[in-house]
Chains A and B, each alone.
Chain A
Amino acid sequence: MSEQKYQYTENPFAVTRREFITITGVIAAFLALPAIWIKSVASSNNAYIQARTQGLYTDDVKSTIRVSHANTAVNRYYKEFGGEPLGHLSHKLLHTHYINRTKGLG
């Protein structure tokens, strides 16, 4: 940095009090309005999620069969064909193996 002196500078009172307050008000408005907008957008997103959650709960309440072990089709499979849950035949038929196929996507 240079050590050179200066003889003139800006007038520190280049902005009047009225201008200062007006500009501050405008800045406050421009900071607040997007904040309020984003907050309302975010809460509308939450409202959608809450409605979806409520819908799923309502579906559950309306459902006569709510758990897989009470499913008559599954029970019939074990009774007439698969034997017992986690048994040898069921494991052989129902258990799946993971194969990484992501390389084939490119």
Chain B
Amino acid sequence: MSHDKMILKHPLSVRMFHYFLILSFLPLAVTGVLLYFKPLSDAAMHLTMQFHAVAGVVLTVACASFFFLAYDRVVLFIKRVFSFSIADLKWFAVLGGYPQKLILRKKVFVPPMGKYNSGQKLFGIFVLIGGSLLILSGWILWGYPHALPRGFVALMGNVHLIAGIVLTLFLCVHLFLGVYMFDDFKAMILHGKIPYEEAKEMSPLWVEKETIPVAKITR
């Protein structure tokens, strides 16, 4: 294959959704940490809460829009992140070869992966479940605390806190690895495409089983 050949990895709908996630989840994580530690004055904390609520509404609208407008992508994502095999255990055994590559400058054998590697699948599962819990508990805490029993609202508060901490920690790893995989970063932020050869190296099973030449579709 020629080095110039490109694969469309992230279509426009996915990139648009990702932009909205950046716009909403990053402010939510920052304001969430501020709301937990309360380092600012009363007025500033009040403003922080207002920012948190607005970003939460943006996140909800973005997720609901993506769910209804790109439902096929949602199904595809769920199928991919919940597909496991023995290769995933082998991937976790060497942690995708990243520590060896980053710390020891050594290349180790990594089992061939699909579009998402095992770490990304785990991240995807946490984002899917944790994100849903965050949105649900956030709306209950913000909009309807008076309409539900006190114990249930307190439970939602704990769920919101735990899911928020887990996803914020995952976000830090995601940001680091997202920038480290620079071609994939450019694809998600800019044009959606990655070089064929790189995709073949990083996601050989995806390239082999799930991609086809554009000419085959447009013909």
Residues of chain A touching chain B, judged by Cβ–Cβ distance below 8 Å, are: 1-2, 4-12, 14-15, 19-20, 23-24, 26-27, 30, 34, 38, 41-42, 44-45, 48
Residues of chain B touching chain A, judged by Cβ–Cβ distance below 8 Å, are: 5-9, 11, 72, 74-76, 78-79, 132, 136, 140, 147-149, 152, 190-193, 196, 207, 210-215, 217
Whose C-beta in chain A lies nearest to the C-beta of B12?
A: A1
* Contact assessment for A2 and B191 in the assembled complex, using a CB-CB cutoff below 8 Å: yes
4 pairs of A and B residues whose beta carbons are closest in the complex: A2-B191, A8-B7, A6-B6, A9-B8
* B140: A residues at CB distance < 8 A: 38
* Contact assessment for B214 and A6 in the assembled complex, using a CB-CB cutoff below 8 Å: yes
Distance (Å) between the CB of B51 and the closest chain A CB?
25
Q: How far is the CA of A5 from the CA of B191 in the complex (A)?
A: 10
A-B contact pairs, 23 of them (CB 8 A): A1-B190, A2-B190, A2-B193, A4-B193, A6-B8, A6-B192, A7-B213, A7-B215, A8-B6, A8-B7, A8-B8, A8-B211, A8-B214, A11-B211, A11-B212, A23-B78, A34-B136, A38-B140, A41-B152, A45-B148, A45-B149, A45-B152, A48-B149
* A48: B residues at CB distance < 8 A: 149
* Contact assessment for A9 and B212 in the assembled complex, using a CB-CB cutoff below 8 Å: yes
* Contact assessment for B8 and A10 in the assembled complex, using a CB-CB cutoff below 8 Å: yes
* A9: B residues at CB distance < 8 A: 7-8, 211-212, 214, 217
* Contact assessment for A14 and B6 in the assembled complex, using a CB-CB cutoff below 8 Å: no
* Contact assessment for B79 and A7 in the assembled complex, using a CB-CB cutoff below 8 Å: no
* A7: B residues at CB distance < 8 A: 5-7, 196, 213-215
Q: How far is the CA of A20 from the CA of B71 in the complex (A)?
A: 10
Distance (Å) between the CB of B141 and the closest chain A CB?
13
Q: How far is the CA of A50 from the CA of B9 in the complex (A)?
A: 56
Distance (Å) between the CB of A44 and the closest chain B CB?
7
* A5: B residues at CB distance < 8 A: 6
In addition to A9-B214, A10-B8, 4 A-B residue pairs with Cβ atoms within 8 Å of each other are A7-B7, A19-B79, A24-B75, A27-B78
* Contact assessment for A8 and B212 in the assembled complex, using a CB-CB cutoff below 8 Å: yes
**Most central of B211, B213, B217 by chain A CB within 10 Å:** B211
Q: How far is the CA of A5 from the CA of B5 in the complex (A)?
A: 9
Distance (Å) between the CB of A35 and the closest chain B CB?
10
Distance (Å) between the CB of A39 and the closest chain B CB?
10
* B207: A residues at CB distance < 8 A: 8
Q: How far is the CA of A13 from the CA of B150 in the complex (A)?
A: 47
* B148: A residues at CB distance < 8 A: 38, 41-42, 45
Q: Which of these, A4, A6, A15, A45, contacts B72 with CB under 8 Å? A: A15
* Contact assessment for B75 and A10 in the assembled complex, using a CB-CB cutoff below 8 Å: no
Distance (Å) between the CB of A51 and the closest chain B CB?
13
Distance (Å) between the CB of A103 and the closest chain B CB?
14
Q: How far is the CA of A54 from the CA of B192 in the complex (A)?
A: 62
Q: Which of these, B7, B75, B192, B213, contacts A20 with CB under 8 Å? A: B75
